Chains A and B, each alone.
Chain A
Amino acid sequence: MPTAQPIARPSVLTVPREATGSPGRANIALIVGVVVVGAWVFVAAFAPWLAPHSPTDLDVMNRLESPGSTHLFGTDEAGRDNFSRVLYGARITVPLAFTVILLASLFGAGVGAVAGYVGGRVDEVLMRVVDIVLAFPPIVLAMAITAALGAGLRNAMLAILLVSWPEFSRLMRGQVLAIKENDYVIAARALGAPGFRVVLTHILPNAFPPIVVKGSLDVGNAIIFTAALSFIGLGAVPPAPEWGAMIAAGQSKFEYWWVATFPGLAILSIVLGFNFLGDGLQDWLNPRLRRD
């Protein structure tokens, strides 16, 4: 192992936690997480019906109106309804973050599984690649990639994907290494089962819980990441109602605080939801989990 700690980059909730108590006690974190995330997924799916106005309809005579009855979250600098834009923002952010992390986790876990199972030279080479990508602070590398390829959500997605997959590899590899020493795996191999069957039927089912936990936490991070890139000007192109871009627009006229504040609260709430979800999943999938 290249470092003493298998976790290269700590996120809040992968640190060891004590057991939450007796099995009968409700897993509050999981419930809260599912509710919040579920609510936002609902918003993302049904925004066109939930939103009172179109997110791009502008009304220059009512610019920067403070929150009120016609505009719940006020209007932005072009007179667009802030509330509708926040709702539609979920349509951009939620699917994007899900897709990116799904792809990153599949690819990363795949690489990690191969490295862990096959071992030897292959393992060394793959892990070196992982080390290299992990050496860059993610946002700096993502900025470099988007600057090279051009602004736009698609390139931002690609950049985030490229910086997100390595940690899944590390995690998966660790899991595979631990599990493949188990008796049932050795038995299966002794009985002559082919490698990939062993991986698929024996190793993966036991290895995936931490991947799922990390995945759900990472969706939250991906949301913040996309917003950060848009905030700098490298992600979403106007007039798309992307939350990071909305915060950027609101920051230059912060007296009109609602323009930047509500998108930020949206990000906060949805990421909290994913953090709770990950926390809850961790408890649910492996209640005796200590250090990874």
Chain B
Amino acid sequence: MLLTYLGRRMVLAVVALFGVVLTAFLVAHSVPADPLATVLSEQATKDPSIRAAYVKRWGLDRTLPEQFGAYLANVLRGDLGESFTTRRPVLQDLKQFLPATVELSLAALAVAVCFGVPLGVWAAVHHNRLPDHAARAVSLVGAASPIFWTGLIALYVFYYLLEWAPGPGRLDSHQTMPPRVTGFLLVDSLAAGNLELFASALRHLILPALVLGWFILGIIARTTRSSLLEVLATDYVRTARAKGLGEGLVVGFHALRNALIPVVTIIGLTFAGLLSGAVLTETVFAWPGIGRYAVTASTRLDYPAILGVTMLTAVIYITVNLIVDLLYGVLDPRIRVR
């Protein structure tokens, strides 16, 4: 049963991945200009030998289905074209910039969980009273604010006016990156034994993580609250109370443990939202991740880069989803039967 479920999920994921590449291909072909513009910079399109080589590689002189075949083959080989902006293979660019976004997203998630779960618990325990309303207000405002706007204001207030946060970027302007091990500054700086860089990287992470995380914080707080409220009304909690267990133990242990299951699911699902939010947060905080890469690529009409980022983010999302589903399938037997 489990294997069938796993197998089915993986097949679906592969189908989705195929569809992702197809979608990217279709978007590339909707550009109302020289089709070579999607893989080459303007200067290069004038050089006949370069043109010829690209036409061959991307099958541009053949029928559309054959072109897609060439495209798919190239993508599977890891050839996503060359970015006009950086003049490097797009895959190389993505490898360079992805860790920064992941680091930021994880930090934002950490912030959201560390503040969101307690907030949700607090709201549930005092539900329909002031703390509940306050928590709801926080999450509502968080969901309704455009993230690039809150980022701007946060940067101005906390960096410039209050001088609490450090400036844009992952490190101070004069500091150089530590030797790259994972691409995560927090890890790499520790690996290099450089505590100063570690501290600087951490400090630079806080404000963008807070801005990015605020939106998710609201969702997590509300999910925690609702889920906890449901659980608190159940029989086994009433039993635990009747048995005379202290309230703290009841809520903090029994109830919370079960209430957190949907929260974990939500965390998995918000990851896609984090990627979206990262795009705008990175722009405001000059964070060198794939979000900012995507923005500069789209304003510069750097089509290989745009399509590369688009496909990568979709692949990440499908992978994360797959993992969450597989875990769920392992944890909750009811799912597998469906």
Contact = CB atoms under 8 A, between A and B. Distances in A.
Interface of A: 1-5, 7-13, 15-18, 128-129, 131-133, 135-141, 143-150, 220, 224, 227-228, 231-234, 244, 247, 251, 254, 257, 260-261, 264, 267-268, 271-272, 275-276
Given A3-B325, A4-B328, A149-B30, A138 B269 contact: no
A10 B270 contact: yes
B146 A267 contact: yes
A143 B306 contact: yes
Contact of B321 (A3, A244, A267): A3
Contact of A140 (B22, B227, B229, B309): B309
B202 interface: no
Contact of A18 (B226, B269, B301, B335): B226
B19 A132 contact: yes
Contacts of B230: 16, 18
Contacts of A2: 9, 12, 325
Nearest to A145: B27
Most chain B beta-carbon neighbours within 10 Å: one of A10, A17, A261, A272: A10
B310 interface: yes
A261 B153 contact: yes
A146 B298 contact: yes
B325 A132 contact: no
23 contacts: A4-B325, A11-B219, A15-B226, A18-B230, A131-B12, A132-B19, A135-B20, A135-B321, A136-B314, A137-B279, A139-B276, A141-B27, A144-B310, A147-B306, A220-B144, A224-B146, A227-B146, A232-B298, A267-B145, A272-B144, A275-B143, A275-B144, A276-B140
Nearest to A257: B156
A268 B276 contact: no
B104 to A, nearest CB: 14
A228 B141 contact: no
A232 B317 CA distance: 23
Contacts of B145: 264, 267-268, 271
B338 A1 contact: yes
A271 B146 CA distance: 9
B332 to A, nearest CB: 7
Given A12-B139, A135-B314, A232 B144 contact: no
Contacts of B329: 4
B169 to A, nearest CB: 17
Q: Determine the main DSSP class of B at the interface with A.
A: helix
B85 interface: no
Interface in B19-76: 19-20, 22-24, 27-28, 30-32
Interface residues of B, number: 71
B143 A247 contact: no
A10 B19 contact: no
B273 A9 contact: yes
A257 to B, nearest CB: 7
A136 B143 contact: no
B74 to A, nearest CB: 18
Interface in B88-108: none
Given A128-B16, A135-B20, A224-B146, A143 B298 contact: yes
Interface in B255-309: 265-266, 269-270, 272-273, 275-276, 279-280, 283-284, 294-295, 297-299, 301, 303, 306-307, 309
Given A140-B313, A272-B141, A234 B299 contact: yes
Rank and list the top 9 A-B pairs by shortest CB-CB distance, nearest first. Answer: A132-B19, A264-B149, A271-B144, A147-B298, A12-B143, A137-B276, A135-B314, A143-B298, A272-B144
Contacts of A5: 265, 269
Interface string B211-224: 00000001100110
Contacts of B226: 15-18
Contacts of A257: 156
A143 to B, nearest CB: 4
B295 A144 contact: no
Most chain B beta-carbon neighbours within 10 Å: one of A143, A261, A271: A143
A257 B149 CA distance: 12
Contacts of B283: 232
B265 A4 contact: yes
